[in-house]
Each structure stands twice: as structure tokens, then as C-alpha cells.
């Protein structure tokens, strides 16, 4: 009506006026519209005809047809000779709006059901294979494609607000143009998103190196969303539909085991031992036994010099030369510090059991924060 100098009416599939330039006509039955619906044709009404019909004014009424079905009627008020030139254009516009609304509805349906399917696939509950396969086929998702679960956790900067809108932008970025990723929001409050990423299998499994390259490219695009720190945990590959839940569990355990880390990309395979043993922490007395060397070091080394040294030592795979280079210290200084660790913890760092106990205490507690 901002374009054409005539009032426009919209009637539903029962001929009831649901939109009008004349608000007084809302919810009235329109006889011309009912005729247009019944006979699927354009109905022109002049002043003489309008006088004999209920709730009708002069004008042209055109059926709105979508998918070969009359879904409503669009009417342009005025003498037919005056409004005929606008009528078809208004009808075409109405049909385009209906088509666009339906397409958007389908997009939202697909998006909602894709996310529901993802959350079902990572759930440890019994899998209804036939039902999931049927839903996946409708969504054009190939469930036979090998995938691994990846959890993205967004850690906002102190001065940056992170909203649901940002989380939705992250989901969109992960969905496109990535390679057929299946994405779902795990937790709005924790800013967590899960992605079931397709992988290429070879004789030795799947390539971490190839995934690292893709992740680095992805992180560059994510950084454009704002000043956020991204923490990622990638699970291992397990075959079959139930394997996706296992993959997600390894990703979740990896993320939880490294909760002290403020950002970065973590592969389950690189932290397999502490991740697998992290379940011991659920039992307080076992956790206390494993944690004891860490507590002793924290108590007797308040500046955490020994703790940082031990962390670097394990990060360098217990190589003395590499540890000295990483810490910029002399070899004798390193030996002194490691001897001090042994004195405080009563563990022999050169024995397998002593080294393993120290390693688990560091990995399960010092690096968890």
C-alpha cells in the first residue's frame, strides 16, 4: 500500500479477512474471496455487484496458489478497471512471500532436526538405528561417513561480552564452509559447541596432521568473531553409530582433564593416559593418593619453581637438554631442582613408578588448575 494508491486485503483459505488497509474489516467473511477459493479463479467485483454481496467492496480478488493449493486470497480495493494493472503484481508478490516463508520454515526444521540428531548421536543411550537412519536420510546426512567428535569451548575475554548470538554465529561458521560438519550447541551457559567432523581414514587410522591444518584455518576465521579464546578437544575415532558417542566421551574427558588450560587444541591421543585415569578422581581417597606429590610441592614450593620445572620436564618428554633449553637454565640447576622434587615427594624420579606417579599428579592436577 506504500506503492499502490489502493487498499489491500488478505484473506485466509476460508475467506476470512486477516489483513486489511481498513482495520474495521478484519475477521469479516469476504464473499468474493470465498468464490475465488472455490472456483480457483480471479473474481472481479464492480460497484453494482458489491451492493448485492455481504462484506464486499469493489475490487479484484486473486487466489494465492502455492504447491498447486489455494492458501488464501489477495484483494485490491477499487473499481476493477482502475486496479487491474496492480492486481497480478500484488498476487505475485504475495505468492513469493508465501514461498519464502515456507522455505525458511524448512530451513529451520532442517537445522533443528540436524542438531537434535547430533545430540542423539553423542548420547550413550541405546541407539534406534532405523529411526536415526530415516531422519538422516531426510536431512541428506551420510551416517556411514567416518567422523570424530570435537568440542569447542569459548572463553570470553574479561572485557568482552559473549552472547547467544555469538554462539549461533560460531555454529554457522562451523557448519559452512566446512566439510559436511554436523554441529550442535551443547551448553549455552558454558559456551560449548560439539562438531562431528568427517575424517579420512587410511591404513594407520586418521591423520592428526591433516586435522591440525584444517583447525588452524578454522581458528583464523573464528578470531574474526571477536576477542574470544577458543579451547578445542578432539576425540578419537570409533566405527559405527555407537562410535560417535564414544568419540564424544573421549573429547569430553580430554577437555575436563585439561580444564586448567585457558586455550588451545588438544587431541585425546596426546593425553590418553591421564584422560583414561581421570575417572579415578571421582573417588576422593584415590584422588588424594595420586594428588599427594602435587600437594607436597605446592606446600613446600610456594613460588612454584619446582612445579614449573617438573611441568617443563614432562612436556619435553623427560629430556634434560631440551628442558634446560625450554627453561633457559643450566643443566646443574635442573638436576638440583629434580633432586629437590625427590626429597619433597619421596619419589625416585629415575624409577618408572616414581616418574609415573609424578607425571599423573602433574597432568591430573597441576594442568587442571
What pLDDT digit, counting tens, does each position of 101-131 carry? 888 888 788 888 888 889 999 998 777 788 8
Task: Give the residue-averaged pLDDT of 69-74.
Answer: 92
Residues near 364 by beta carbon (within 8 Å), at least 6 away in sequence: 257, 274, 277, 278, 281, 290, 291
pLDDT of residue 130: 84
* E strand or H helix at 245: helix 241-257
pLDDT of residue 358: 94
Task: Give the residue-averaged pLDDT of 226-246.
Answer: 88
The answer to whether the beta carbons of residues 126 and 141 sit under 8 Å apart is no
Residues near 318 by beta carbon (within 8 Å), at least 6 away in sequence: 355
pLDDT of residue 332: 96
Highest mean pLDDT among 225-234, 318-327, 358-367: 318-327
With 90 as the cut, is the pLDDT of residue 337 above it? Answer: yes
* Dihedral sign computed on CA atoms, order 59, 60, 66, 68: positive
Q: 153-165, pLDDT tens digit by residue?
A: 988 777 767 777 7
pLDDT of residue 179: 66
With 80 as the cut, is the pLDDT of residue 326 above it? Answer: yes
Question: Would the CATH topology of 129-275 be identical to that of 283-366?
Answer: no
With 70 as the cut, is the pLDDT of residue 246 above it? Answer: yes
Task: Give the residue-averaged pLDDT of 127-136.
Answer: 83
pLDDT of residue 368: 57
Q: 273-306, pLDDT tens digit by residue?
A: 888 887 777 788 888 998 999 999 999 999 999 9
pLDDT of residue 71: 92
Task: Give the residue-averaged pLDDT of 74-88.
Answer: 86
The answer to whether the beta carbons of residues 316 and 322 sit under 8 Å apart is yes
CA 119 – CA 182 distance, rounded (Å) = 10
CATH superfamily membership of 129-275? Reverse transcriptase/Diguanylate cyclase domain (3.30.70.270)
Identify how many contiguous H helices and E strands the chain contains and give both numbers.
Answer: 13, 12
With 80 as the cut, is the pLDDT of residue 34 above it? Answer: yes
pLDDT of residue 308: 94
With 70 as the cut, is the pLDDT of residue 183 above it? Answer: yes
Task: Give the residue-averaged pLDDT of 242-268.
Answer: 88
| Boundaries of every domain in the chain | 8-99, 129-275, 283-366
Rg (CA), the chain: 33
Lowest-confidence region among 167-171, 312-316, 340-344: 167-171
Pick the CATH number of 283-366 from 3.30.420.40, 3.30.70.260, 1.10.15.40, 1.10.10.2840: 1.10.10.2840
Identify whether 31 is preceded by a cis peptide bond (ω within 30 of 0).
Answer: no
Predicted structure pTM score: 0.65
- What is the DSSP track for 253-313? HHHHHTTT--SEEEEGGGGHHHHHHGGGGGSHHHHHHHHHHHHHHHHH-TT-HHHHHHHHH
Residue 367 binned pLDDT confidence (cut-offs 50, 70, 90): low
With 90 as the cut, is the pLDDT of residue 202 above it? Answer: no
Side-chain half-sphere exposure of 197, counting CA atoms within 13 A: 30
Task: Give the residue-averaged pLDDT of 161-175.
Answer: 80
Amino acid at each position: 500500500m506504500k506503492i499502490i494508491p489502493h487498499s489491500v486485503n488478505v484473506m485466509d483459505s476460508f475467506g476470512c479477512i486477516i489483513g486489511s488497509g481498513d482495520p474495521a474489516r478484519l475477521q469479516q467473511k469476504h464473499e468474493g474471496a470465498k468464490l475465488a477459493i472455490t472456483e480457483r479463479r480471479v473474481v472481479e467485483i464492480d460497484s453494482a455487484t458489491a451492493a448485492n454481496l455481504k462484506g464486499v467492496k469493489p475490487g479484484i480478488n486473486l487466489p494465492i496458489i502455492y504447491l498447486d493449493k489455494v492458501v488464501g486470497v489477495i484483494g485490491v480495493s477499487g473499481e476493477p478497471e482502475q486496479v487491474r494493472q496492480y492486481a497480478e503484481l500484488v498476487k505475485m508478490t504475495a505468492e513469493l512471500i508465501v514461498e519464502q516463508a515456507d522455505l525458511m520454515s524448512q530451513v529451520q526444521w532442517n537445522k533443528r532436526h540436524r542438531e537434535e540428531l547430533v545430540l542423539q548421536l553423542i548420547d550413550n543411550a541405546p541407539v534406534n538405528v532405523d529411526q536415526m537412519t530415516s531422519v538422516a536420510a531426510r536431512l541428506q546426512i551420510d551416517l556411514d561417513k567416518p567422523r570424530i567428535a570435537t568440542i569447542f569451548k569459548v572463553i570470553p575475554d574479561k572485557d568482552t561480552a559473549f552472547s547467544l548470538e555469538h554462539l549461533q554465529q560460531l555454529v554457522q561458521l562451523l557448519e559452512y564452509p566446512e566439510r559436511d560438519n554436523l554441529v550442535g550447541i551443547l551448553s549455552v551457559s558454558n559456551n560449548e559447541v560439539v562438531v562431528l567432523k568427517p575424517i579420512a581414514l587410511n591404513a594407520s587410522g586418521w591423520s592428526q596432521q591433516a586435522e591440525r591444518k584444517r583447525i588452524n584455518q578454522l581458528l583464523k576465521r573464528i578470531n574474526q568473531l571477536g576477542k574470544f579464546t577458543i579451547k578445542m578437544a578432539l576425540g578419537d575415532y570409533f566405527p559405527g553409530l555407537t562410535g560417535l558417542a564414544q568419540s564424544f566421551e573421549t573429547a569430553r574427558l580430554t577437555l575436563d582433564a585439561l580444564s586448567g588450560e585457558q586455550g588451545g587444541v588438544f587431541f585425546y591421543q596426546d593425553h590418553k593416559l591421564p584422560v583414561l585415569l581421570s575417572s579415578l578422581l571421582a573417588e576422593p581417597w584415590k584422588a588424594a593418593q595420586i594428588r599427594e606429590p602435587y600437594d607436597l610441592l605446592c606446600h613446600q614450593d610456594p613460588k612454584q619453581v619446582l612445579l614449573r620445572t617438573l611441568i617443563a620436564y614432562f612436556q619435553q618428554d623427560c629430556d634434560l637438554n631440551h628442558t634446560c633449553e625450554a627453561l633457559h637454565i643450566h643443566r646443574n640447576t635442573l638436576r638440583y631442582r629434580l633432586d629437590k622434587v625427590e626429597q619433597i615427594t619421596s619419589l625416585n624420579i629415575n624409577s618408572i613408578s616414581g616418574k609415573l606417579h609424578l607425571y599423573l599428579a602433574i597432568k591430573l592436577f597441576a594442568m587442571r588448575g
